[in-house]
Amino acid sequence: MTELTELVGTWMRRQRWYSTKSVEPKLRLLASFETEPEPADAGVRIVTHFFADDAPRTPRVYQVPVVARDDRDGDPAAFIGEAGGRHLYDGPAEEAYVSALAALMGGAARTEGRDAHAQGHTLGGTIAVRSSRRLTGEQSNTSIVAELDDGRLTLIKVFRVVQDGENPDISTLAALTQGGSRRTPALLGWLSGSWPAPSGQGAAHGELALVQDFVPGAEDGWELAVDAAERGEDFADRAYDLGRGTAELHRLMASALPTREAEQEDIAQALDGMFRRLTLTTTEVPEVGELRAGIAAVYESAAAGPLPTLQRIHGDLHLGQVLHSGERGWQFIDFEGEPLRPLAERSLPDATMRDVAGMLRSFDYVAGSLAQRQPPVDASAWAARARQAYLDGYASVVGTELHDHQRLLDAFELDKAVYEILYEARHRPAWIPIPFTAVQRLLSAQQVG
């Protein structure tokens, strides 16, 4: 398999979902399983490989579905190389793979391979694909729009980096679907599997793919907001509806998934994380050190406030994680949680104010991104109106909850902005003023209050 490993390593480095950009992949083939083409085709072989990448400090495992063809009729953009006299293509770009994957999920079928297996699960019955197209874009997974035989459109997501443990993108969406959510696309099915742990000790178990309803005609929340702000179009009504939708989503999550009351140990752990991020940020951006005392006071005040109820949350909520449909209103997507957090932590109950803070920061970033334009666009007043309307919409559902946990919300928003300063310092130094100004504004509001 040396030839295959070398081919995939060279090809993987060019893929947007490859997460270790600064180094060459160092791959080991861990395991594979084969899937029968749908419909049967003697000239096509479908094999899903699991590769461990030893290039990063902590090895990562990638799922690489490959379609091997006798001919070279596949998508040139998905061509991996030639091995064993066959032409190899990235599976999600091939209808043969997409149809076989959907059949596994929709039929709750199982396939065994060399040291690996896959098991389909369904909430919506048989899934027969008529046609499919892979989506492009900067993402950690690969998404495919598939039209079913009955005319429905679905979105299939193939996870590229696979991890041991429950993926909240599936467990959350499954619970919401079964709870009758109208704020999320319905989950139709998913594929789980097992593969050898990269350490060589035992097996790992996790999710490999999912299929859900596709929301036709939906607009990306970030693009919608940026366009409105750039044109000076008031966004307050839509922001209010988004706030209501967020609160409704939180209420449904609380009814469909476990909740518990926070304890002092939870507060201590959250506070410790905030101070670690603050220390790291002040080390790399010394200007933040001048604000450290004020930031620390907000954190300490939140820790002394009322304890929240902890529940499942979105975990990485911002305008890029919502779609707006004229028919369905705001729809929430991508429940994987914060990508930098370990998978095991992303399903843990958390405070809803973390999601609210994430969306507030997203409105700020709309204005900040426009300020970077040439010539710059001043959308600060637009963002302030949108932020307040979002909070008003949220409060219209939860009552006094926002007021009761205002100090916690302030702390989460400050923590998010501090993290953003560190991120921008490492990746886009010219953008540091966006979160830095937000920190100053938030601290000034504390003094006024």
The full set of domains in the chain, from first to last, is 2-213 (no CATH), 219-448 (3.90.1200.10)
Task: Please tell me the distance from the alpha carbon of residue 44 to that of residue 89, in angstroms, as a whole number.
Answer: 11
Percentage of the chain beyond pLDDT 70 is: 99
pLDDT confidence of residue 231: 96
pLDDT confidence of residue 140: 79
pLDDT category of residue 84 using cuts at 50, 70 and 90: confident
Task: Please tell me the distance from the alpha carbon of residue 352 to that of residue 337, in angstroms, as a whole number.
Answer: 13
pLDDT confidence of residue 191: 98
pLDDT surpassing 80 at residue 255: yes
pLDDT surpassing 90 at residue 377: yes
Average pLDDT, the chain: 94
pLDDT surpassing 60 at residue 318: yes
pLDDT confidence of residue 223: 97
pLDDT confidence of residue 81: 95
pLDDT in tens, 402-432: 999 999 999 999 999 999 999 999 999 999 9
List, in order, residues 6 or more apart from 97 with CB less than 8 Å away.
35, 46, 65, 67, 91
pLDDT confidence of residue 1: 58
pLDDT confidence of residue 24: 87
Q: Are 129 and 135 in contact (CB under 8 A)?
A: no
pLDDT confidence of residue 216: 86
pLDDT confidence of residue 20: 82
Whole-number Cα distances in Å, 139 to 146, 187, 290, 397, 420: 18, 20, 36, 33, 19
pLDDT confidence of residue 325: 94
pLDDT confidence of residue 137: 72
Q: For residue 77, how far is the Cα from the chain centroid?
A: 25
pLDDT in tens, 210-235: 999 999 889 999 999 999 999 999 99
The predicted model gives 195-209 an average pLDDT of 95
**Backbone dihedral region for residue 151 (phi beyond 0: left; psi -120 to 50: alpha; all else: beta):** left
Tell me the β-bridge partners of 250: none
pLDDT category of residue 42 using cuts at 50, 70 and 90: confident
pLDDT category of residue 34 using cuts at 50, 70 and 90: very high
pLDDT category of residue 138 using cuts at 50, 70 and 90: low
| Pairing of β 117-122 and β 110-114 | antiparallel
Task: Please tell me the distance from the alpha carbon of residue 351 to that of residue 400, in angstroms, as a whole number.
Answer: 15
CB hemisphere CA count around 135 (13 angstroms)? 16
User: Residue with structure tokens 């970030």?
Assistant: 222
pLDDT in tens, 282-300: 999 999 999 999 999 999 9
pLDDT confidence of residue 449: 55
pLDDT confidence of residue 11: 95
User: Residue with structure tokens 């900067």?
Assistant: 138
The predicted model gives 256-280 an average pLDDT of 96
Q: For residue 351, how far is the Cα from the chain centroid?
A: 18
